[in-house]
Copies of this chain bind each other. A is one copy, B any other.
């Protein structure tokens, strides 16, 4: 496939053996001397004023070492982008399960007992069950001081219970719809779902004599946690150290501050290290899960299938607190699907309610909007009497288009993913009664060349035997990210992967990194690592050229050697160069890589607004629907993704496999069920994640490699998109199978039976 030595190959995963044998150390595995266990006291009410908290009984309990409430961090707020929540509830509680106090005791039983004897006097307030209720004119206001949270981000221009409103406009959608040959309208909704990682949030906090705070954390974004802790504790960043231990899955749920501040406060107050770990009930009611949504969609097309307009109203129910949900317009343009549409009118808002808080979950906002957009395309195709895939191919973005949000579509392989789906479908066998095929496409546009957020940085230290230590703030949360980074170093510097050690995930010892998320690792972190390795490579080349008395342009690095191309035997080992460097005035070889610094080189103004690393895909699914029970079974699955360049086939396949199964859960089984804002299925038994039997037996794949301009070796990444189109594809297949179209996930058997009954 390529002429690389270590790229495009599946190397032995760095963390596989320690995980397989149980020797990997997660935050929950840590045992420090005199370590206490911390537990939360949580609110039984969804919305209530706190009149009084009496911690005296808890404090008197033998074995209890510290109790903290909002009095220990008065007025402090935490969050990401929007700092809207207290460390512990202060004046009121805004959702059932909100933490009101925390205790640290010598063992878990004592801590639990102590938490249970804290007496909180509440005054119940009217509950705002969901975003639709919250938007009613006389709805109670959940955040009285919304303005102050929003002030630092002008795009958060909401009011009342609306955190932000976004209006994306291009052309005149109203007029175009009126003139369209065919108009299709439908309303969709999706529930809250948990990220589904297996390791719950776990934190150990310790404070040394100098007051320096060290936190071992299940986070995938230690620098984000450090920033939040420093702010809430009033400490300089140099006095807070966050170490991300091994992470047992994340999917967006472990990138922002959560239980850390309370844990640190307990450690400060008790003078002992404290461990806190959530159980899965807490995970489901009190962490930051996938936002529920209400999406109203109208589109218009000409008779030949050319899309002329889309009009959408998108409401995201962000629950009691918002975590990492920005008002950026890019995230809402996903509702138009990956299609060129001249007239666009999207009104989107993020709305508070007294429900479980929400935040980032693999491709935040995308599965919800894709479920709507791609179910909608299928419905439109049926109305037009067209093949749904042909309708998509007719309208698909081909690159170069200007989006209503202002960006330009870079080079993209989405058309090829659709063609791959067409090829797959061309060979499809006849469907039997109750069986159907469905298609859905996705696009994910996180990488504007000009860049939002933080650039990634990496350092590469070469040891005196030519082996290397790669420094990155990037945390491996199970996706094999470190494997890829090591491969990039190995390829660039000409070393075997075993010769590279990764120093990562520690705010004290690694360069700044905003976190492993947003499908940014390969594209952005990978670029910084490539640049660090390239910097080191150039130093080695200069030294070797000097030593061998040759033109540096003729030198190549491979197998731990620098050699002269075409002159066998004229070579020097990297080890020899590094050993010499370390005792010579030049000093040891250290490479520095900063991504955006390089990305900007030679880049025009237009380029800056280009979505260079667009990640796209098209899925095909075959399902069988049992008309009696309503049960949907996934029979076949095909996924085609444009990843730009395959750095590591196993990792790409793993992301697709995992994403599809997660999407099956979103499509068929998962979803928090609430009654008046109280979650009634807050256990792993009742909250039904897909099990082995629910997953497709195999997932056929077609990997497209349309190189991005700035990703390492053209890579785009593939961490998030595979989960996005699954629910829509299944929904479209259900329609194909039994002729009913649901407009909400999960595609619950009962809903299907009801729809079939109604259709009859």
- A residues near B (Cβ < 8 Å) are 14, 17-18, 21, 23, 31, 33, 208-210, 212, 227, 230, 236-239, 241, 451, 453-455, 457, 459, 461, 463-465, 467-469, 471, 498-501, 503, 506, 508-512, 582-588, 590, 592, 594-597, 599-600
Which of B209, B590, B596 is A23 in contact with, Cβ under 8 Å?
Answer: B209
A469 contact set on B, CB distance < 8 A: 238, 508-509
25 pairs of residues in contact across A and B, judged by CB atoms under 8 Å: A17-B209, A18-B209, A21-B209, A212-B501, A236-B465, A236-B467, A236-B499, A237-B467, A238-B463, A238-B467, A238-B468, A238-B469, A453-B583, A455-B582, A455-B585, A457-B590, A459-B590, A463-B512, A464-B512, A469-B509, A471-B509, A503-B508, A511-B588, A585-B597, A590-B592
Q: Give chain B residues whose Cβ lies under 8 Å from the Cβ of A596.
A: 584-587
Contact A512 B588 (CB under 8 A): yes
- Identify which of A21, A499, A506, A590 gathers the most chain B CB atoms within 10 Å of its CB: A590
Contact indicator B600/A595 (Cβ below 8 Å): no
Q: Is the CB of A237 within 8 A of B465?
A: yes
Determine whether the beta carbon of A498 is less than 8 Å from that of B236.
yes
State which of B17, B461, B510, B512 has its C-beta within 8 Å of the C-beta of A511. B461
Q: Which residues of B contact A31 (CB under 8 A)?
A: 33
* Nearest 7 pairs of A and B residues by beta carbon: A587-B594, A238-B467, A585-B596, A509-B509, A237-B463, A238-B501, A236-B467
Q: How far is B584's CA from A451's CA once the two chains are assembled, in angstroms?
A: 9
Q: Establish whether residues A457 and B588, one from each chain, have CB atoms under 8 Å apart when the complex forms.
A: yes
Number of copies: 2
A570 to B170, CA, bound (A): 44
Known A-B contacts A209-B18, A501-B238, A597-B585; the reply to A464 vs B508 at CB < 8 A is: no
Complex Cα–Cα for A511 and B597 (A): 24
Q: A238-B467, A454-B582, A469-B508 are in contact. List 20 more A-B contacts (CB 8 A).
A: A14-B210, A31-B33, A230-B465, A236-B467, A236-B499, A237-B464, A238-B468, A238-B498, A239-B467, A454-B583, A455-B582, A464-B512, A511-B588, A511-B590, A584-B596, A585-B599, A586-B594, A586-B596, A587-B597, A590-B592
Complex: A209 Cα to B210 Cα, angstroms: 35
**What residue of chain B has the Cβ atom nearest to residue A506's Cβ?**
B509
The contact of A208 among B23, B238, B500, by CB within 8 Å, is: B23
The residue of chain B having its C-beta at the shortest distance from the C-beta of A585 within the complex is: B596
Residues of the B chain whose Cβ atoms lie less than 8 Å from the Cβ of A467: 236-239
Chain B: minimal CB distance from A751 (Å): 45
Question: Nearest-CB distance from A98 to chain B (Å)?
Answer: 29
Closest to A603 in B: B585
Q: Which residues of B contact A506 (CB under 8 A)?
A: 509
Q: Interface centre among A236, A239, A241, by most B CB within 10 Å?
A: A236
Q: How far is the CA of A461 from the CA of B513 in the complex (A)?
A: 12
User: Hey, which chain B residues are within 8 Å of A511, CB to CB?
Assistant: 461, 588, 590
Are B208 and A457 in contact, CB atoms less than 8 angstroms apart? no
Residues of the B chain whose Cβ atoms lie less than 8 Å from the Cβ of A454: 582-583
Docked pose: A459 CA to B460 CA in angstroms: 12
A220 CB to closest chain B CB (Å) equals 18
- A468 CB contacts on chain B under 8 angstroms: 238
**Which residue of chain B is the closest to A241 with respect to CB atoms?**
B501
Query: Among B210, B510, B585, B590, which residue has its beta carbon within 8 angstroms of that of A600?
Result: B585
Determine which of B500, B512, B592 lies in contact with A238 in the assembled complex, contact meaning CB atoms within 8 Å. B500
A596 to B585, CA, bound (A): 5
What's the Cα separation between A241 and B503 when bound, in Å? 11
User: Is B595 a contact partner of A587 (Cβ separation < 8 A)?
Assistant: yes
Residues of B within 8 A of A508 (CB): 469, 501, 503
Contact present for B18 and A582 (CB under 8 Å): no
Instruction: Kindly state the separation between the CA atoms of A597 and B509 in the bound complex, as whole angstroms.
Output: 24
Given contacts A227-B464, A512-B464, A594-B587, contact A18 B208 (CB under 8 A): yes
Query: With A18-B208, A461-B511, A509-B509 known to touch, is A501 a contact of B592 (CB < 8 Å)?
Result: no
Q: A31–B503 Cα gap in the complex (Å)?
A: 23
Asked whether, in the complex, the Cβ of A499 is within 8 Å of the Cβ of B238, the reply is: yes
Tell me how far the C-beta of A6 lies from the nearest C-beta in chain B, rounded to whole angstroms. 15
CA gap between A599 and B454 in the complex, in Å = 35
Contacts of A498 in B (CB 8 A): 236, 238-239
CB A292 to nearest CB in B, in angstroms, measures 31
Looking at the assembled complex, report how far the CB atom of A535 sits from the nearest CB atom of chain B, in whole angstroms: 11
Looking at the complex, which one of B212, B451, B582 makes contact with A585 (CB distance below 8 Å)? B451
Residues of B within 8 A of A594 (CB): 586-588
With both beta carbons as reference points, the residue of chain B lying nearest to A465 in the complex is identified as B237
Q: In chain B, what residue has the closest Cβ to A463? A: B237
> Closest chain B residue to A223 by CB distance?
B464
Residues of B within 8 A of A585 (CB): 451, 455, 596-597, 599-600
Residue on B with the closest CB to A467?
Answer: B238
- A457: B residues at CB distance < 8 A: 587-588, 590
Which of B237, B453, B586 meets A597, CB within 8 Å? Answer: B586
A453 to B501, CA, bound (A): 26
Name the B residues within 8 Å of A595 (CB-CB).
587
Interface centre among A455, A463, A508 (most CB of B within 10 A): A463
Complex CA distance for A528 and B425, rounded to whole angstroms: 64
Which residues on the B side are within 8 Å of A584 (C-beta)? 455, 596
Shortest CB-to-CB span from A476 to chain B, Å, is 14
In the complex, what distance in Å separates the CA atom of A236 from the CA atom of B495? 12
Which residues of chain B have C-beta atoms less than 8 A from A587's C-beta? 455, 457, 594-597
Cβ of A487 to closest chain B Cβ, rounded Å: 15
Q: Give the most central of A21, A471, A500: most B CB within 10 Å.
A: A471
Which residues from chain B contact A503 at a C-beta distance below 8 Å?
Answer: 508-509
Residues of B contacting A600 in the complex (Cβ-Cβ under 8 angstroms): 585
